[in-house]
A and B are shown apart, each in its own frame.
Chain A
Amino acid sequence: MGLASNLKIWRGPAPPSSEGPARRRARRWRSLGGLIAAWILLGTVWETGARLGVLNPAILPPPSQFIPYLIETSGSVGLGVNKISYLASLVETVIRVGIGFGLGVGGGLIVGTLLSAIPLARVIGVPIAQILAPIAPIAWIPLAIVLFGTGDGAAVFVVFMGIAASMTLATVAALGSVPGEHIKSARSLGSSGWRLWLRVTLPAAAPGVATAVRLSFFAAWMSVLAGEMAGINSGLGSLVILGQQEFQMKLVMAGLVTIGILGFGFDRLLLLIRRRLLWWETRGARAVAADA
């Protein structure tokens, strides 16, 4: 039959090519190489500048000074009950940001989902979130200290308030931007109710939510440090402020570099989790890159 012989044109497609993973590996190595190169460059400029006297080592002590200092002295500042050490501060800050971030993201996801599901709640809830979202995290500190004192509770509260409202709005937006035709197709294929929500709406909204989670981490990280610098009297932020007050610039530098490395590390971790959960994104991207 004429038709069937014509169909041979598109039957028997080429087998899947295997160059994808190799390309991906190459890209990963390149970005790792860039990271190492950036650190070497920054360290070299810093060290050379300090040796040549261009950068005053008393104010900007280079890594060759603050790293041994940290190991030798365990990086403590303050006296008596106010004495805090580098390692304890670091652990405290990480725990605070972890709890606040978890609560803020979780709360935002739950409230955002409920707001998307209930139109009447959305009419009232979204404007409330829109009013709360632009309040700078640092503006919550006075209230946090009055409510919870100057300890962990206040820090967690500041982080939570810093991200929960924007996370709620991002969730509503992500769920709202799921294409209507996707839902119609799924319904036409027999999906409905919870199943439709879990298997279609949720994964379709997931990339938008994941981006919001990553941005929320930055906000959370800044919130906790700002809080610790402005009244909450422990943690990494507090360590940096106390170091400055006692003119322990090696400790200040160690604190700043730690803040940068930890923030970077957590962001990478979130990216890794995203790639695991939203595994299809990287595969689609690989195809696009291969086409280009």
Chain B
Amino acid sequence: MPEIRITDVCRDFGQHRVLDQVDLRLESGSLTALVGPTGCGKTTLLELIAGLQNPTRGTITVDGEDVVGPRRDSILIFQQHNLFDWLTVRDNVAFGLRNRGLSKREARRRAIEQLERVGLAAFADRVPGELSGGMRQRVALARALVLAPRLLLMDEPFGSLDHQTRRIMQRYLLTTWRQSRATVVLVTHDLDEAMRLADRIVLFSASPGRPVEVVDVPAQHPRNLEDGQLRRVRDRLLAHLQEEVALSEFAGAELAALGEAGFASIPPVVKVHGGVSDGSA
């Protein structure tokens, strides 16, 4: 399974630097969560790994190969399911297989197999417009998994789902990830989601975006977030995340007001693993 190395990566949009000097190594078969405030460049980093954008500076390698475009073995999933309205559920799942040169018949056969695995075979002939939000996201996941990707990149995949559906989808992702042992990179703004799923959490600061803290989560699944050790990690990350969000959302005067309201009483940040900088306030 692929290992991702991100070396000294910067990404500018015109004058604006979205990502600044990102150095990360994501181990093969790991599930990494990228967490940070809106606009911290985590989505951009995901699209760089997917080969849908190119870095302004620096290199990204997957299994030692430079990423220059979309790779056959990596799939990107968005918050919106992006299913194709004009294809049935079966043909949506068959879409990627067809692109790989499979015959229509063979692609559809494998699509049905995949749908059976995720319990959606009864909906094969429906169109996305006839499905619920959770089902659509499951079809989107099936559409990616049928290609047996070795690298699964997910951009807030459950962000548009209601709370209960999201929890179920998280468990579903864990099960399928364990079966496939793909390397997964998950972008989320939900710290609890990251705590439940990830082996490693990378916390980003905003403007310019860069990793400020990398935390390994040693606990096995299923996890109890109220467990002592996890709870301490979560509380600290939450404080840090709140600080980053506050810094990216509010100006100095507003921050002072927030401080008076008790928000700035943030405990000192302790590095656990390979933190890159101190999150320049």
Residues of A within 8 A of B (CB): 2-4, 6-7, 9-13, 15-16, 179, 181-182, 184-192, 195, 199-200, 203-204, 206, 278, 280-281, 283-288
Docked complex Cα distance between A11 and B175 (Å): 14
Residues of B within 8 A of A (CB): 47, 50, 52, 70, 72, 74-78, 80, 82, 84-87, 95-96, 99-100, 119-120, 122-123, 125-131, 134-135, 143-144, 147, 168, 171-172, 174-175, 221-222
Q: Which residues of A contact B85 (CB under 8 A)?
A: 203-204, 280-281, 284
Whether B129 pairs with A283 at a CB distance below 8 angstroms is yes
Whether B130 pairs with A11 at a CB distance below 8 angstroms is no
Docked complex Cα distance between A185 and B141 (Å): 12
Residue from the list A3, A15, A191, A286 in contact with B171, Cβ < 8 A = A3
Docked complex Cα distance between A3 and B223 (Å): 11
Extra contacts, 5 of them, besides A281-B85, A284-B129 (Cβ < 8 A), are A12-B119, A13-B120, A190-B99, A278-B86, A284-B127
Q: Which residues of A contact B96 (CB under 8 A)?
A: 189-191
Q: Which residues of A contact B175 (CB under 8 A)?
A: 3-4, 7
Q: Which residues of A contact B126 (CB under 8 A)?
A: 16, 283
Docked complex Cα distance between A203 and B85 (Å): 9
Given A7-B172, A13-B122, A284-B130, A188 and B100 contact (CB-CB distance below 8 Å): no
Whether A10 pairs with B130 at a CB distance below 8 angstroms is no
Q: Which residue of A lies closest to B155 (CB)?
A: A181
Q: Which residues of B contact A16 (CB under 8 A)?
A: 122-123, 125-126
Looking at A9, A10, A11, A200, the one whose CB has the most chain B CB atoms below 10 A away is A10
Residue from the list A7, A182, A278 in contact with B84, Cβ < 8 A = A182
Given A10-B168, A187-B70, A182 and B130 contact (CB-CB distance below 8 Å): no
Q: Which residues of A contact B174 (CB under 8 A)?
A: 3
